Amino acid sequence: MKQFNDWLGERLSYWLSTMAMFYIITGMVLVPLLFQRPQGLVGWMQYAISVFFQGAALPVLGYVARRAGEGQERVLNETHDAVMEQLILIKEDLELAREQRDELEALMTELRVKSPNTNKE
């Protein structure tokens, strides 16, 4: 059931935050005005606030939030790629340092064998 809820939630959140949904809701908000108009300034203000702003503005807010999320995801992906490139370079440098350390240890061992009278610390 959780998988279905996640799937349905993803689909609904996507489709309810599209500009197409904005146009659909705006049409659904404006069509009733052909049949019945609010009376007076208070009626119009209540209509605008309760119907237009709450109904038609929500898809726009969802759309803007989704676009901002996509931009943020792009930045995160670019940052991840840059960090991974740096990690590869660090691993290569570490391997090179290990090889050089091994060479130095081999040289030190060779020197100790050739000159056994040196002070060992």
Is the overall model pTM greater than 0.75, yes or no? no
Q: Rounded to an integer, what distance in angstroms lies between the CA atom of residue 28 and that of residue 31?
A: 6
- Strand, coil or helix: 86: helix
Q: What is the pLDDT of residues 76-85, one digit of tens each?
A: 999 999 999 9
Residue written as token pair 């999320």: 69
Number of domains in the chain: 1
- pLDDT-based confidence at residue 118 (cuts at 50, 70, 90): low
Asked if the structure places residue 26 within a domain, the reply is yes
The predicted structure's pLDDT at residue 24 = 85
Asked if the structure places residue 57 within a domain, the reply is yes
- pLDDT-based confidence at residue 40 (cuts at 50, 70, 90): confident
Question: With the C-alpha atoms ordered 43, 44, 47, 49, is the resulting torsion angle positive or negative?
Answer: negative
Q: Which residue has the higher pLDDT, 51 or 108?
A: 108
Asked if the structure places residue 120 within a domain, the reply is no
